[in-house]
Amino acid sequence: MWQRYHLSVGERFSIPVDDTNSVHVSFIALTEVTAIPRLYDTPINPSNGIGMLVDYRSYAAAYAKAGGTPLTPNAVFLRTQSDAASLASVRNTFPDLADRRLLMIDNQQNSVHLDIVGVLAIAVGTVLVLALIGTLLSSWLNAASRRTNFAVMRTLGMASRQIAAVLLWEQGFLYGIAFVLGIGLGALLTIFVAPTVALLDLAGPGGRNNPYDVPSVLTTIPYPQLLLLLMIMGAICLGALLLMAHIVSRPSISMMLRMNED
């Protein structure tokens, strides 16, 4: 509404407040509100999120004066505490209350939702484990196939520390690129795919809502857990790199003797 009427702070404006557009009430814009509960745009109703907050007593008096009939509210929002005692008291007092907390718990415990989350968790975990194992095996095979080259370099007088540094720079660069690409791809999937997946349990014969007539999905990323996972994977990769660098920088005595004989 703020953009539609090009409002500014302190500006007066008048809009119709009844279905016949015959009753107009004047308002004063105080500030822009970014979001109002239960008002949101959807692909089906792109202008459904238009609304404004007013003082009820002032608005009821102005409405009755302009329209000649009293204002009858059709919904009341209650601000409650989140502790169990307060919630139980409110639910006992208003048994027919549309409880958002119960609705959220019901959606989180929905069997379809749990199945989708479980399958995705298993898939992501499997991909991470296989990718980590494949990366470590690839690095180890690459280093093992070049042990002769490293032994030659060691025989020619190259220090063990220098050989280890060569391997660490090569593999570390590849690991760094892999981490950057993986994080970037994960961010893209989170932005574009996660909201769609979150609506899968609303579709189908058992869905209670139209998946295209719901508010936009708010994606919450667990940064502490994600950072911990990245740190664990980074520590594993770093440990594997250090172990490989230690092995290739210290060739076996038999290989060194054979190189000296050659």
pLDDT of residue 206: 44
Binned at pLDDT 50, 70 and 90, residue 167 comes out as confident
Q: Are residues 127 and 38 part of one domain?
A: no
User: 57 and 120: one domain?
Assistant: no
Task: Check whether residue 60 and residue 181 sit in a common domain.
Answer: no
- Domain span including residue 255: 110-261
Average pLDDT over residues 133-162: 81
Phi first, then psi: what are they for 221, rounded to 5°?
Answer: -100, 125
DSSP state of 36: B
Copy the structure tokens of residue 196: 């769609």
Is 130 within a domain?
yes
- Is the domain of 204 the same as that of 255? yes
In a domain, 82, yes or no: no
Q: How many domains does the chain have?
A: 2
Structure tokens at 153: 């370099």
Same domain, 54 and 117: no
Question: Interhelix angle for 147-155 vs 223-248, to 10°?
Answer: 60
Tell me what pLDDT residue 254 has. Answer: 54
The answer to whether residue 45 scores a pLDDT higher than 50 is: yes
Within a domain: 182: yes
Three-state SS at 1? coil
Q: Evaluate if residue 262 carries a pLDDT over 60.
A: no
Residue 73 lies in a domain: no
When the pLDDT of each residue in the chain is averaged and rounded to a whole number, the result is 79
Percent of the chain with pLDDT over 70: 83
For the cut 70, the answer to whether the pLDDT of residue 172 exceeds it is: yes
d(CA 151, CA 239): 22
Residue 28 in any domain: the answer is yes
Please state the separation of Cα 250 from the chain's center in Å.
46
Could you report the per-residue pLDDT of 109-145, keeping only the tens digit for each? Answer: 877 778 888 888 898 889 888 888 888 888 888 887 8
- Span 188-233, pLDDT tens digits: 888 887 777 766 655 544 444 555 555 666 777 888 888 898 899 8
What pLDDT, on the 0 to 100 scale, is given for residue 135?
83
The confidence score (pLDDT) of residue 205 equals 44
Look at residue 184 and tell me if it is in a domain: yes
Confidence (pLDDT) at 202: 56
Same domain, 231 and 141: yes
Domain membership of residue 115 (yes or no) is: yes
- Domain-located, residue 166: yes
- Shared domain for 131 and 250, answered yes or no, is yes
pLDDT at 126: 92
Query: Could you give the 3-state DSSP secondary structure of residue 162?
Result: helix
Q: Report pLDDT for 109.
A: 80
Joined together, the tokens standing for residue 4 give: 């539609």
Residue, of 148 and 92, whose pLDDT is higher: 92
Q: What is the pLDDT of residues 82-93, one digit of tens each?
A: 888 888 888 888
